[in-house]
Structure formats: C-alpha cells, structure tokens
A and B are shown apart, each in its own frame.
Chain A
C-alpha cells in the first residue's frame, strides 16, 4: 500500500501548505485563499460526478445555489442561527440533487447534459420569480448576526480563513476517502465501462444516484459557505455561468484527481484576477482556456503530471 501512503502525504502536504501560505502571504492574497478554498469545495463536488463517475452535468449551479439560498434565506428571513441554517443549505442541495438525479439519470450522454442544464435554468428562473424573497439578480447581504458562531465573528479575515480551511479539509480528505472506498472504485468502473460494471453485479444506476446526491451536497456546502463567509447571496450564482465554472476548473486542474479541483480554481482565479485588471471581458480567458484544454490537454494539469511523472497520483 505504498501508493496510499504517498497520497496521504500529498493530501496532508497540500493542507499544510495552505496553512503556511495564509501566514506568509500578503493580506490580499491570504484573503483570496478563503475564496479559492470555498470554490475548490464546489469544484471537488463537481469532480466526483464528472471526473470520477464520467457524468457531465451542466447544471451544478443549482446545487451551489440551493446551499446558498438554503442558508441565506433561513438565516436572513427566519433569523436562524448559523449551524442549523448551514445544515439546511446542505439538506436543500442534497434533496434537490436527489430529485434531479432520479429524473436526469434516466437519460445519458448529451441528453443528460441538456436535462441538467434545463433543470438548472428552471432553478435560476425560480430564484428570479420569487424575487420578493431572493431579491433576484441584485441579491441580498447576509446579516452580521447570521455570520457569527457563538463568539466567533466570521467576517474577520482570520476566522473566515479558518472556517473555509476546516470545511475544505473535511471535504478534501473525506472525498479522498470516498474515492479509495469500494463505492468510489465502483464509480470509476462506471466511468470506464458502465455495461461491464453492471455485468459484474453492481447496481450502476444506484451508484450514479448516490454520487449525484453526494456531489450535490458538497456543492451545497460550498454554496452555504460562500454565503456565510462572504455575506452575499445572489441569482448570479444560480446562472449557467456558475455551472460552467466548475467544469472549467476541473478540466484545467485535472478531472478525476483529488488535487485537480484546487489547482484549477487557483489557476483560474488568478488568471481572471489578473486579466480583469485591464479588461472587463475577462470571461474571454475562460473561453480560450476551455477550447485549448479540450484540444490539447483533456486530462488537465494534474492529469499531465499523472501521465508523465507520478502514476500513483490519486
């Protein structure tokens, strides 16, 4: 089990590096780390279905948004404390994923993509339709009271970083465990050859359903965390663009690798951060990246490393 030891070392190394970076980087970049980790949680959730199970969903923004609104609305409108509001966000996302997956998984391939896209579009429109509560595109700011856990004020840089860090670490290590488990290996088998997997006696349909629910729940964690840590909830996060982003991150970083999502988010974040300083058409970078990745590096950065250097890369 040498490979398992290596991947453990890698995962703890990544977590340690993030921690060190927070203390050594200038405040602006240290602050960015929190956002990058939260978005990486979203990317990891997406990676579970896209990278490991081979299902291309174009509608994950609805799960991110379900987490975000599940938290934001209960915290702001109902005045719930952080923990139950956060849990509501996750439950909303998981429940939505269960319903959407149960329907969408009756299709495959291109139809699956369009069905998930359409459900996400419906969800986006629903957010706009109930503008009275959601404030539509404009969005709303989460009250300060909803961003306190006991005495800890999540609006301070340090508390925000550690909250993001803990959530990231849980999802990162948790998903790495899932991938190594019998369940995770079966997902990879489905990606590689679904018919064979079924003819080995696995209920492929059920595995895909559970993968979607887990992926939805993790995306919901990211959405709720985003609202909690950055204090804003808006319909943009439910739009098509936010379904495309995780695809871009995961493709860039490396689909079907544990560290790919983090790498992808990190790269894209700074690429957009850099380009938006001189143009408002920063999505151009995303477009060019998508085309180039499809053409030249379909396995992403971590995928390249896995092919060329470390075959054990989890």
Chain B
C-alpha cells in the first residue's frame, strides 16, 4: 500500500491567529493517478497545498514524500525532490520571453546544457500548444495563454507530483476542453493533484476525489461515489447562498 502512495500527510494542521484553517488532515496521493481536491470556498484547499509544497509552514503535522519525511524541508528543496507547483494566481516571469520562462524551469533539472534545455522547452511548449509564441514576452500574453505557460513550466520540471491550483479559473470553455485532454494525457506519466472549482473538469479528469470542508476532510472516493455522497451535497448546498 505504501509504495502506491507517493505522498502522504498525517495530522497536517494550520492555525492563523487562533483560527484553524486546516485541521488534522490525513491525506494520501496515489502514484500515477489524477486526484482532485475540492471543497467550497474557504475550505482550506490552498492552505493545504501550500503546506504540502512548503510555501506555507505547517503549524503541526507531517508530510511524507515517497516514504520520506519532508516536513522540515524548505519549499525549494521539496521542488527539487520532484514536486511541481502552479500558482492559483498566475505567477510567471512577465518581463521574460516564454522560452526563457520555461527554460528557467527546465534548466534546474537539466543542468547547464543549452541544447538539451532548448529541446525540452520546445517540446513542452508544443505539448501545451503555445510553441508558436516562444519568443513573445510572457507579460504580453492573454490570461489563458499565461495559464498554459504555467503548466508548461511545471511540465518542464518533469515532476513526480504536479500540483495544479485552480488551473481552469478564468479559461474559456474551449480552453477548458483542451485542458481536460492534457490532464488525461499526463495521467500515468506523472501524479497530479488538482485543486479545482469546476465540477465538470473534476468529473472528467479525476480518478479520485478528496473533499475538504471547513479545513477538514469530508469525504474520499471515486467521482461517482463523491457525486452520490449526501454529506458532500449538503456542504456545497449549505454554502451556495453564503
């Protein structure tokens, strides 16, 4: 069982000035699968992945990556182990070209070899479908393309776990369809943790779903099971008018 789980958290808790944002989260991420983390606004999803990636220090609890306790590692060390992270609010290098944006991501794992880096950048940009814009300045891109660029930057790192925080937020309908296809393509190659609001995307892309509500794990299961779960429905309906 342990070998199947690439990532595990035990009792992960975050308290902000006495308020609990995350309480005792025990979570497992199955290797090679697409797992979606869903929940109403303010359920603590971003706090949770922040603690997993090391951006947000945990108040208590532990994070295990491939069986190793990484709780004490700073963010950049966790990334070096094979975690890639895309931000909820697009975070790119706006003053640099797309090529350089992705090259920065690729260079860390490929070392100083420019030819290898170049090949990798081209491959990744093609994969997300923005290779024709490689020489543009990233800040000039449309929002949707910036999101794709972020995904390209994640892919260029050849991550073992790819954390996507609200990747489809602000995308057009057609772009969302392409995104679902991309995620299904990636499944098997890497492990994906998807934080997503759009239930259509979740249902179409995820193998497994974990639901957070008020900082606690509410339910776990396949998309079908979650869909039928009355507690989940109540949580969503309960906050729909809030």
A and B touch in the complex (CB under 8 A): yes
Residues of A whose CB lies within 8 Å of any CB of B are 181-182, 185-186, 188-189, 192-193, 195-204
Tell whether A201 pairs with B79 under 8 Å between CB atoms, given A182-B107, A188-B96, A189-B104: yes
Chain A residues closer than 8 Å to B75, beta-carbon distance = 198-199
Contact check, B107 vs A181: say whether CB atoms are below 8 A apart: no
A199 to B91, CA, bound (A): 10
A244 to B80, CA, bound (A): 39
Chain A residues closer than 8 Å to B108, beta-carbon distance = 200-202
A117 to B80, CA, bound (A): 35
Tell whether A196 pairs with B107 under 8 Å between CB atoms, given A201-B79, A201-B80: no
A272 to B84, CA, bound (A): 52
Number of residues of chain B lying within 8 A (CB) of chain A: 24
Chain B residues closer than 8 Å to A189, beta-carbon distance = 93, 96, 104
A200 to B91, CA, bound (A): 11
- Of A182, A192, A195, A200, the contact of B112 (CB 8 Å cutoff): A182
Contact check, B76 vs A202: say whether CB atoms are below 8 A apart: yes
Q: Which residue of B lies closest to A192 (CB)?
A: B93
30 example contacts (A-B, Cβ-Cβ < 8 A) are as follows: A181-B112, A182-B107, A185-B100, A185-B103, A185-B107, A189-B96, A192-B94, A192-B96, A193-B91, A193-B93, A196-B91, A196-B92, A196-B93, A198-B75, A198-B79, A199-B55, A199-B75, A199-B76, A199-B79, A199-B87, A200-B104, A200-B105, A200-B108, A200-B153, A200-B157, A201-B76, A201-B79, A201-B80, A201-B108, A202-B108
> Would you give the shortest CB distance from B104 to chain A, in whole angstroms?
5
A166 to B96, CA, bound (A): 33
> Would you give the shortest CB distance from A310 to chain B, in whole angstroms?
15
Contact check, A197 vs B104: say whether CB atoms are below 8 A apart: yes
> Would you give the shortest CB distance from A187 to chain B, in whole angstroms?
11
B:102-119 near A, CB below 8 Å: 103-105, 107-108, 111-112
Q: A193-B93, A201-B79 are in contact. List 19 more A-B contacts (CB 8 A).
A: A181-B112, A182-B107, A182-B112, A185-B103, A185-B107, A186-B104, A189-B93, A189-B96, A192-B93, A192-B96, A196-B91, A196-B92, A198-B75, A198-B79, A199-B85, A200-B104, A200-B108, A201-B76, A203-B76
A202 to B103, CA, bound (A): 13
- Of B95, B103, B105, B107, the contact of A192 (CB 8 Å cutoff): B95
Contact check, B100 vs A196: say whether CB atoms are below 8 A apart: no
Chain B residues closer than 8 Å to A199, beta-carbon distance = 53, 55, 75-76, 79, 85, 87, 91
A128 to B48, CA, bound (A): 54
Q: Which residue of A lies closest to B110 (CB)?
A: A182
Q: Which of A181, A182, A200, A202 has the most chain B CB within a 10 Å cutoff? A: A200
A189 to B138, CA, bound (A): 13
Chain B residues closer than 8 Å to A204, beta-carbon distance = 76
Chain B residues closer than 8 Å to A185, beta-carbon distance = 100, 103-104, 107
Q: Which residue of B lies closest to A204 (CB)?
A: B76
> Would you give the shortest CB distance from A132 to chain B, in whole angstroms?
46
Chain A residues closer than 8 Å to B100, beta-carbon distance = 185
Contact check, A198 vs B76: say whether CB atoms are below 8 A apart: yes
Task: Encode contact with A along B29-66: 1 for CB under 8 Å, 0 otherwise.
Answer: 00000000000000000000000010100000000000
A181 to B79, CA, bound (A): 22
A238 to B57, CA, bound (A): 41
Chain A residues closer than 8 Å to B92, beta-carbon distance = 193, 196
Chain B residues closer than 8 Å to A196, beta-carbon distance = 87, 91-93
Chain B residues closer than 8 Å to A195, beta-carbon distance = 91
